[in-house]
Amino acid sequence: MKINIPFESLSYPGKDGTGAIVVSNEDFATFNSDLLSLGNLNTGGKRVEAISAVFDLDGFTNFCNQMEPHLVVPRFLKEFLSWILEKIAQEHLIVKIENAFEGKTPLYSRLPIFCKFLGDGLLMIWDTDGMSETEMGNVVCILKNVTQSYVKDFLPIINKKFVNVPEKLRCGIARGSIVQLGDGNDYVGPSINIASRLQKVPPNFTFAFSARGFDKDFFAENVFKKYQMIKIEVRGIKGNEELVYVLKSEINSLSPEMQAQIQIL
């Protein structure tokens, strides 16, 4: 949200000898919760059953600390955000039957209902009302493909345009109840918080989804065997432990010492 309230300096000796800044009475009155554009909060929130996914650029803070970041960070974000939204759309598309429906596009799953830039990543939400188990499993597979494609496809291109770019894109996914605020301009809820924490599963997994609400029956057998359930501590969850699926390939890439520190089920 952008706030643009015009002001001017005024010579006004206060008790400490400083001057004052003045704005019009009308402009001053506009500084209130309406600036957040959340809509009507008096009607109560709407409960939504959803899949929440949080993407995070690993190393984005370091990228922003380079010299003259104002010259490169916006350009990088334009490239990244354009790529990731296009990639997610492409991964939804059923290419094999692309031309089978006149004027309509066949998808493996419905598209997200909400997307929000978080400063170093994205929050995306899928409304699961009416979704089949296969469709929900497809969302997980789509996001896994996007996460892996960052290193495989996007990074080689972006490394030629910038230095010290984030080397990994992490993704955490959770399913559960969330609350739609106002007119659907924002969402809050436990599954969003869990998804945010799962994108930082130690010792540095790039992809993880909560076992709550997801089952092996959601996936084809050859797809599900790529995942491994582990038990980890997640801050903010009662009991602090959560059953989480991660990629077997990422577990296998760890040293034996690091694997021994993981509760593999």
The predicted-structure confidence for 192-202, as pLDDT tens digits, reads as follows 999 999 998 88
pLDDT for residue 75: 93
pLDDT value, residue 28: 84
How does residue 21 score in pLDDT terms, banded at 50, 70 and 90? confident
Distance CA 64, CA 77 (A): 11
Confidence bin at 155 (pLDDT 50/70/90): very high
> Among candidates 47, 89, 50, 80, which has minimal Cα distance to 195?
50
- For residues 143 and 135, what is the distance between their CA atoms, to the nearest angstrom? 13
Q: Is residue 56 pLDDT above 90, yes or no?
A: yes
List beta partners, residue 114.
125
- 212 token code pair: 């709550």
pLDDT number for residue 259: 86
Q: Which amino acid is at 130?
A: G
Q: What's the pLDDT band for 99 if we cut at 50, 70, 90?
A: low
Residue 97, pLDDT score? 65
Report how far apart, in Å, the C-alpha atoms of 221 and of each of 95, 134, 224 are: 22, 12, 5
Q: Are 115 and 52 in contact (CB under 8 A)?
A: no
Superfamily of domain 8-34+45-264: Nucleotide cyclase, GGDEF domain (3.30.70.1230)
Structure-token match 């429906």, residue found: 101
**Domain boundaries of the chain, sorted by first residue:** 8-34+45-264
Helices (H), ranges, the chain = 25-29, 60-64, 69-92, 133-149, 155-158, 190-198, 221-224, 248-252, 256-260
Specify the range with the lowest mean pLDDT, choosing from 28-37, 83-92, 115-124. 28-37
Predicted TM-score (pTM) of this structure: 0.88
Percent of the chain with pLDDT strictly greater than 90: 53
Under 8 Å between Cβ of 114 and 187 = yes
pLDDT tops 60 at residue 10: no
Predicted pLDDT at 165: 93
Structural Rg of the chain based on CA atoms:
22
Sign of CA pseudo-dihedral 202, 208, 210, 211: negative
pLDDT above 60 for 150: yes
Lowest mean per-residue pLDDT among 7-21, 88-102, 213-227? 7-21
Is 7 within 8 Å of 23 (Cβ atoms)? yes
Mean pLDDT value of segment 108-120: 91
